[in-house]
């Protein structure tokens, strides 16, 4: 990814190379998230780790998964999956969309930090997806930066609409997650493509139900 | 801040000790400022949460099912945090917040492009957020990569380049100022630049001028756990 004049460090990065990490594989990482999501004891683990954990973490991070999620305040990944500091490398944007910088962040999490799992997490009643359903009807509904944030979701809305679903927003959220998983997998980034090919990396979509607090993995 | 009422609600004594079981020690969740908070109230509440995090006291209890269900009706977050993807900088943890408290935009190197700007505007205009905090942190890998680009001519390909390039101006400025600790000076400079960009955003101007919104910068120290405010 990076060509560096340095002989030490991970190709232009000052962090230790990922192969030194003893990280979870994709399946173990997914199992850990499933367990976290199943537990209702969300907040409980978080602040207890305290200062000693901070000192160890300050040297180096070793997240076991990259989480691509929505900015929505009710969908904080660490709280939903019962994770602590150091567990999840997180990219959040309204509507859990992934632009170039989001993709670059994911590559960083996978290649430099060695995360073995990428989860794209959509959620019920997503305001950005709702806005995209309006934008699909009326191209003048939004302008400026707001439009820029919502526009990438419109294709998923149109695709979901074609199947005439009972709940368009929920269907579009699912479709949006699927298309983002696909976009990451086919991004052409060698760090992602190579690891997907030899099984060192997995990408999976997930759906958070705001009402029940449950996460459904879209295998 | 208003802990007594909630303490009794959750069955805890005021000192945070659980009255029924000896372990684990839990405390009531922090109460949010009542009504529609001002930018200053929101900031005070965040910093109070960070102090709670640093003190490493007893944790708040898990989210109850009815807490989750009632949040499903709508969100009214107190602040937008523009932060880094770094796994050690989860804003909800650093500021001792719960579901529904923070609207969060995160990308490696906490920079803001037009879609991120759209997310922020949504939180300000549609959800009424009174505060935006741009949060950088010590030892940031993305800023470190930008430092390597400037100092050692490191090259980055593909999407990674789009993460690194927006940080380069901050590195150059920190370097020109003769910074001792170039990495962390660049982190600070980058936060200040991103905050300045938001402060100059035309779509936020009216809300900022009316005093209903404040944009601030913060620096999170990985060792101490403290968030320091930047000018």
Higher pLDDT, B27 or B78: B78
Question: Which of B6, B26, B97, B119 should be substituted to probe chain A, the one whose Cβ sees the most A Cβ atoms within 10 Å?
Answer: B119
Instruction: Give the mutation candidate from A101, A115, A144, A183 for the B interface (greatest B CB count, under 10 A).
Output: A101
From chain A, the residues in CB contact with B32 under 8 A are none
Cβ <8 Å between B105 and A61: no
Higher pLDDT, B67 or B3: B67
DSSP alpha helices (H): ranges in chain B? 3-9, 39-55, 65-71, 91-94, 114-121, 141-152, 158-164, 168-176, 182-199, 202-209
Tell me, yes or no, if A7 comes closer than 8 A to chain B by beta carbon.
no
Identify the pLDDT of residue A55: 86
Test A145 with B90 for CB contact under 8 angstroms: no
Rounded Cα gap, residues B103 and B190, in angstroms: 21
Tens digit of each residue's pLDDT (9 = 90 or more) over B98-150: 999 999 999 999 999 999 999 999 999 999 999 999 999 999 999 999 999 99
pLDDT confidence of residue B65: 86
What is the C-alpha R_g of chain A?
A: 18
Query: What is the Cα–Cα distance from B183 to A93, expressed in whole angstroms?
Result: 26
CA distance A64 to chain B (A): 10
* Lowest-confidence pick of A15-19, B132-136, B171-175, B218-222: A15-19
Q: Do B145 and A13 touch (CB under 8 A)?
A: yes
Tell me the chain B residues in contact with residue A134 when contact means C-beta distances shorter than 8 Å: none
- A114 in contact with B at a CB cutoff of 8 Å? no
Best of B79, B101, B160, B198 to disrupt the A interface (most A CBs within 10 Å) is B160
A chain contacts of residue B68, beta-carbon cutoff 8 Å: 210-213
Q: What is the pLDDT of residue A219?
A: 79
Q: What is the pLDDT of residues A99-158, one digit of tens each?
A: 999 999 999 999 999 999 999 999 999 999 999 999 999 999 999 999 999 999 999 999
Q: If contacts are CB pairs under 8 Å, which of residues 162-181 in chain A contact chain B?
A: none
Look at residue B23 and tell me whether its pLDDT is greater than 80.
no
Contacts of B111 in chain A (CB under 8 A): 101
> Is A105 within 8 Å of B71 when comparing Cβ atoms?
no
Q: What is the pTM of this model?
A: 0.90
pLDDT in tens, A66-99: 999 999 999 999 999 988 899 999 999 999 999 9
Query: Which residue in chain A is spatially nearest to B58 when comparing CA positions?
Result: A48
Strand order in the sheet with B79-83: A215-218, A202-208, A117-123, A65-69, A88-92, B102-106, B79-83, B131-137, B214-220, B227-230
> Which of the four pLDDT bands, split at 50, 70 and 90, describes residue B61?
confident
Report which of B212, B228, B211 is spatially closest to residue B220, judged by C-alpha positions: B228
Cβ distance of B115 and A41 shorter than 8 Å: no
Q: Residue A188: what are its φ and ψ, rounded to 5°?
A: 80, 5
């Amino acid at each position: 990814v990076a060509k560096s004049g340095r002989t030490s460090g991970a190709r232009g990065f000052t962090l230790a190379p990922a192969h030194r990490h003893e990280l979870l594989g994709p399946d173990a990482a997914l199992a850990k998230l499933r367990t976290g999501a199943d537990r209702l004891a969300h907040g409980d683990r978080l602040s207890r780790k305290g200062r000693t954990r901070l000192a160890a973490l300050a040297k180096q991070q070793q997240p076991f998964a990259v989480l691509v999620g929505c900015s929505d305040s009710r969908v904080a990944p660490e709280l939903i999956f019962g994770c602590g500091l150091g567990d999840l490398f997180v990219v959040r944007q309204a509507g859990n969309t992934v632009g170039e910088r989001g993709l670059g962040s994911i590559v960083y999490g996978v290649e430099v930090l060695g995360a073995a799992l990428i989860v794209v997490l959509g959620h019920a009643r997503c305001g950005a997806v709702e806005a995209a359903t309006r934008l699909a009807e009326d191209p003048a509904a939004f302008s400026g930066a707001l439009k820029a944030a919502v526009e990438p979701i419109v294709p998923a809305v149109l695709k979901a609409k074609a199947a005439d679903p009972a709940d368009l927003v929920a269907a579009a959220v699912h479709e949006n997650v699927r298309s983002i998983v696909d976009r990451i997998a086919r991004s052409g980034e060698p760090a992602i493509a190579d690891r997907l090919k030899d099984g060192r990396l997995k990408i999976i979509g997930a759906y958070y139900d705001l009402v029940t607090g449950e996460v459904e993995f879209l295998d | 801040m208003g802990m007594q009422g909630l303490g009794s609600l959750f069955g805890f004594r005021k000192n945070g000790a659980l009255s029924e079981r000896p372990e684990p020690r839990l405390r009531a969740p922090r109460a949010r400022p009542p009504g529609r908070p001002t930018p200053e109230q929101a900031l005070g509440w965040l910093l109070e949460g960070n102090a709670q995090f640093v003190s490493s006291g007893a944790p708040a209890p898990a989210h109850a099912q009815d807490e989750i269900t009632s949040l499903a009706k709508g969100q009214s977050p107190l602040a937008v945090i523009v932060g880094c993807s770094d796994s050690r900088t989860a804003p909800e943890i650093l500021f001792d917040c719960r579901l529904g408290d923070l609207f969060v935009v995160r990308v490696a190197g906490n920079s803001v492009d037009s879609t991120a700007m759209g997310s922020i505007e949504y939180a300000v205009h549609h959800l009424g957020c009174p505060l935006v905090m741009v949060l950088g942190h010590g030892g940031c890998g993305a800023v470190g990569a930008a430092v390597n680009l400037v100092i050692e001519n490191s090259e980055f390909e593909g999407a990674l380049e789009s993460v690194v390039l927006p940080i380069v101006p901050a590195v150059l400025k920190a370097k020109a100022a003769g910074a001792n600790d170039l990495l962390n000076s660049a982190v600070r400079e980058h936060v200040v630049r991103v905050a300045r960009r938001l402060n100059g955003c035309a779509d936020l101007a009216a809300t900022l001028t009316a005093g209903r919104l404040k944009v601030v910068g913060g620096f999170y120290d990985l060792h101490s756990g403290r968030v320091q405010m930047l000018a």
